[in-house]
Every structure is written in C-alpha cells, then in structure tokens.
Amino acid sequence: MPHIDFKNDLPGIRSAMAFRPETAGPLNQLAQILLRDENGLSRADRELIATLVSYRNDCFYCHNSHGEIACIYLDGDRNLVNQVRQNFETAEISEKLKALLNIAAKVQNSGKDVNEADIERAKKHGASDVEIHDTVLIAAAFCMFNRYVDGLATYAPTEMDSYPVRAKQIAENGYGTHVYSQNQPK
C-alpha cells in the first residue's frame, strides 16, 4: 500500500506525478534533457547510468523501468543491461562508459566520494566536461527519483511484461505529461 492516497492507480513515479502535476512539470523537463539529449552521451548511455544508480538504490520500479528503456536503445540486448547492473567494470561497454559509470556509482553513495582520480580516468578515455556533468546529474537525479518512488511506497508492478510496454512509450515519446495521464500504454 502506498503511504499516501494518490487518488489514482498508476504505477511508480507516475502515481506521484499525477497526484502533484505542479512538481511533475519540472521533474519531467529534467528527465527529458538528461535522458533524451543526444549531445555527448547517447540515450543508451544515459539510461544505463539511470539503471545502475536505481539498482544500487534498490529501487525495483526505477531500475526495471530504465533498464527496459536502455534495452530498447541497445536493440534488445538485455544481457548487456544486466552486465551493467551486476558489474559494469567487466561489462561489454567502452572504457569511457565504464569510467563514467564509476563516477555515477560514487555519486550514488555521496557526492563527496567522487575524487580527482575518478575524473582523470574519465577524461583519459575522452569524456568531456558536459559528459561528466551529465553523468553526475543523472546519478544525482536518480537518487532523487528513487527516493520519491520508494519514500512514498508507490506501487511497483510485479508483472514484468508491463515494463517493456511503458519503456516503448518513453523510447517513442520521451518524458512529459503523457507519462502520468490516465490513458496508460497497454
């Protein structure tokens, strides 16, 4: 049972967004820029960062939702998404993305854990300042989204075939008011 009465039966963050559209506006705008911008990091990279951080925050709804979105951008390679969840250092991804995921993993614990060696490693593999910025902010933003979703005990579907359906909606239309409209993808 959710901690508050959302007055809707939408899953996860969608229920909280429908409850309070005034805050949903900037939250969706933030997600849209951080996860959909094609400058620097790819959309797959961005969703993988979101997935790793959500997984480490033990947020079932978020890590499954964003894992499925990443999966779509990776042409269905769910195995790669799982590699990133389990151990990104040995995953079949670029050294640059590993270095950025290392920064994201530090941010997940505390911003202060990111040290100069972490930044040097990312820069050595070609990460730009904007890519480092976006990595830190995606990781920080999911420390917010995860806490919002779990702190209010929102409903997390256990029917796993519902996640790809919602992921398809995001991959096609991005983030915006449509995610919390009553007309949900089926």
Partner 1 sequence: MSQRLFKNIKPKKMAHINVEEGVPGIRSLALFRPETGKSLYALAQVLLRGESPLSEAERELIAAYVSGRNNCRFCMSSHAAAARCLYGEDSNVVDEVLNDMDHSSTSAKMKSLLRIAGQVQILGKEVTDADILNARSYGATDREIHDTVLIAATFSMFNRYVDGLATFTPTDESEYKAMGERLAEKGYVQPKTQA
Kindly identify the residues of this chain, within the stretch 62-101, that bind partner 1 according to CB under 8 A: none
- Told to check if 156 binds partner 1 by CB under 8 A, we report no
**Which helix (H) or strand (E) is 135 found in, with range?**
helix 129-151
Closest CB to partner 1 among 144 and 165? 144
DSSP per residue, 17-56: HHH-HHHHHHHHHHHHHHHH--SSS-HHHHHHHHHHHHHH
User: Residue 161: CB partners within 8 Å, gap ≥ 6?
Assistant: none
Kindly identify the residues of this chain, within the stretch 28-47, that bind partner 1 according to CB under 8 A: 29-30, 33-34, 37
- Told to check if 126 binds partner 1 by CB under 8 A, we report no
- Told to check if 57 binds partner 1 by CB under 8 A, we report yes
- Told to check if 4 binds partner 1 by CB under 8 A, we report yes
Please give the structure tokens belonging to residue 13: 């963050």
- Told to check if 107 binds partner 1 by CB under 8 A, we report yes
Q: Minimum Å distance from CB 16 to partner 1?
A: 7
Contacts 24+ apart (CB under 8 A), 117-123: 122/96
Q: Minimum Å distance from CB 27 to partner 1?
A: 7
- Told to check if 110 binds partner 1 by CB under 8 A, we report yes
Contact positions vs partner 1 (CB under 8 A): 3-5, 16, 19-20, 22-23, 25-27, 29-30, 33-34, 37, 57-59, 103, 106-107, 110-112, 114, 116, 119, 129-130, 132-134, 136-137, 139-141, 143-153
